[in-house]
Amino acid sequence: MHELIVGIDLGTTNSELAIIQDGAIRVIPIHGRPIMPSCVGLDGTGKLVVGETARNQLIAAPEHTILSIKRQMGEDVKVSLGDKQFSPEEISSFILRELKQEGERELGRPIKKAVITVPAFFNERQRRATQVAGELAGLDVVRIINEPTAAALAYGAGVKEGETMLVYDLGGGTFDVSVVVVENGIVEVKASHGDVRLGGDDFDDLLVAHAIAAFKKQHDAELPRDTKTLRRLKVVMERAKRTLSDEPFVAIREEYIDGPRHLEFELLRDDYERLILPLLERTLDCCHRSLSDAQLTPAQISKVMLVGGATRTPLVQSLLRNRMRLDPRFEIDPDLIVAMGAAAQGAVIAGDKHYSVLVDITPHTWNTTAISYRRGYDELVCVPIIRRNTPLPASKSEMVFTMFDAQLETKVDVYQGESDIPAENTLIGDFLVTGLSAAPANNPIVIHFDLDLNGMLKVTAREKITGFAKTVTLDTRAHHAVDLDEARRNIASLVGDSTGPADRTDAADASAEDATADTQELLNTAKDLRKRGEALTQKNPTADDANEIRDLIHHSAAAIKDGDWTTLAEKNDALSDLIFYLED
């Protein structure tokens, strides 16, 4: 049996967990349902609640409930939950933790590794933030993959060789479109475009504004714009929006919305569609751009896959049909397809040959900077090194030159984006290379970018004439300073445990629960020896023997954490001998 690597779709509105079991994809029910709202809250007693329970209190306790945190992933912000403050990574970790724990309950076995999906258009920071959230939830995030790619993978054996597909993914908060090709059993993303700020939530916002105008027309009065009323309106209008996917009109009636008065009006699907049309036009632009990047026409697309709950909107389907002459299909539930693909990717990583191998691309261009004189004056411009839509992993170099004689140092900037003007792109990081030789100006420096399958970047600057080099792995956590230990403490203040290495012995105890029967005895012995050893060290904390005990306890905890049972057995023996001798 292969190692278990689960697939997780960490969505703006909903999240899902899937695995491959006996060669088939299985979506794991969370709280009895395949879909869990990505909602986090505190109940009346201050206890953390996640999923449906949190969503149910959205109106009654808006200040104790958080929805759509994905939209803030990668931002250096804190959100309030009751009287505490949390980062988006921490809030997302609560969602992942719930999926992990509920999944473990359902499967009866520990979940340690996961593939998590992100929108193709997530930048480095947002990907990192997702990875951090996984770590905080006690998951080893073995791969971050793009949502549309996962969707294509979910079709697995269902896709024919040479088939070219368009994955149109409209979720609650983001939109992505990708052109995907299957060649030699490999699923390859040829091009990808999107908008990280466009989704079903925006339709809700338009409907809320429409409801406020309807109330004004009805009562000649303004509705209060407090959080509670707005949340209530959002819930009502989101429900109305879903109804309009199946019905030509919806009657909205929300009693005592501002105290004495009711909100009451009828909304036609036609009017709703007029409201959202400009947003959907933007998605069509992205489709055209992706097709043109992949040098394809719509006629060359054999399948259009719809992903994300908002693709149930009939206008989405009719625009794809009428404007682009594409025929979208719904063979796999658009809410589950991404998690299913992530599970398929997890199985491939675990060594399962049954599923297609994935080739992903980078949706952004990665640049360094240089001074250019092309407009008749010196200006800093972006120099692309790895271009958008390059398959991953990618490894490419460009040469830049020093400006002055005996220039002993140079700064290397890394920008993500399509513009040649640095200010229009996102600064990912910079570093200083010192110790260059005292060469004349125009000393060539080779800048090498290595982009891995998770979209993480390693940058090397090498002086060509001497080979002298400096390598930096760009870690956007440094930018937006997520202190993992502090985050763990913050989380523990709410949920009362910590999964981090900061708590080595606790982590060891936690791992003990995960062990199989074969190792359980070994772990019990280690736990017992640790307790007895700690008691002895407290009696005489400075003696050499006490130091040796601490050392052995430390090594056995590390062995438990690494699952290294041979070393654990050795440490148990050594500790047992020492304790036996000292207790005597």
Which residues does the annotation mark as catalytic?
9, 70, 147, 169
Would you say 333 or 570 has its CB closer to ligand AMP? 333
Distance CA 578, CA 418 (A): 64
Angle at 15 (CA atoms; ends 329, 319), nearest 5 degrees: 30
Instruction: Report residue 390 CA to chain centroid gap.
Output: 21
Using only C-alpha atoms, the chain has a radius of gyration, in whole angstroms, of 27
CB of 474 to ligand AMP, least distance (A): 29
Report the b/e string of 564-580 with b at 16+ CB within 10 A: ebeebbebbebbbebbe
Instruction: Indicate which single residue of 7, 8, 10, 14 sits in contact with ligand AMP (rule: CB under 6 A).
Output: 14
Q: Least separation, in Å, of the C-beta of 62 and ligand AMP?
A: 18
Residue nearest to ligand AMP according to CB distances in the complex: 200
12 binds ligand AMP (CB under 6 A): yes
- Rounded to a whole number of angstroms, the minimum distance from the CB of residue 56 to ligand AMP is 16
Q: Which region, judged by CB under 6 A, interacts with ligand AMP, from 91-99, 240-248, 409-417, 426-434? A: 240-248
Residues contacting ligand AMP: total by CB under 6 A: 19
For every residue of 17-79, DSSP letters joined together read EEEEETTEEEEPPBTTBS-EE--EEE-TTS-EEETHHHHHTTTT-GGGEE--GGGGTTSS--E
Rule CB under 6 A: choose which of 171, 341, 429, 533 binds ligand AMP: 171
Give the HSE-up count for residue 169: Cα atoms under 13 Å, Cβ half-sphere: 36
- The total number of residues shown for the chain amounts to 584
Examine residue 119 and say whether the peptide bond preceding it is cis (omega within 30 degrees of 0): no
Residue 445: in which H helix or E strand, if any? strand 444-451
Closest contact distance (angstroms) between CB of 136 and ligand AMP is 22
Q: Which of 248/541 has CB closer to ligand AMP? A: 248
What is the nearest approach in angstroms of ligand AMP to the Cβ of residue 283? 14
3-state secondary structure of 409: strand
Query: From CA 522, how far away is CA 570, in angstroms rounded?
Result: 10
Can you tell me which of 134, 138, 172, 417 binds ligand AMP, judged by CB under 6 A? 172
Comparing CB distances to ligand AMP, the nearer of 55 and 112 is 55
Return the residue of 200, 341, 346, 429 that touches ligand AMP, per CB under 6 A. 200
By CB under 6 A, is residue 288 in contact with ligand AMP? no
Q: Is 130 in the site for ligand AMP (CB under 6 A)?
A: no
Distance from the first to the final alpha carbon of the chain? 47
Q: Which of 4, 7, 10, 13 binds ligand AMP (CB under 6 A)?
A: 13
Site for ligand AMP in 309-338 (CB under 6 A): 309-310, 312-313, 335
**Rule CB under 6 A: is residue 146 a binding residue for ligand AMP?**
no
Q: What gap in Å lies between CA 14 and CA 299, rounded to an integer?
A: 33
Q: Which stretch binds ligand AMP (CB under 6 A): 8-16, 108-116, 176-184, 434-442?
A: 8-16
Tell me which residues in 371-390 interact with ligand AMP (CB under 6 A). none
Residues in the site for ligand AMP, rule: CB under 6 A? 11-14, 171-172, 199-201, 238, 241-242, 245, 308-310, 312-313, 335
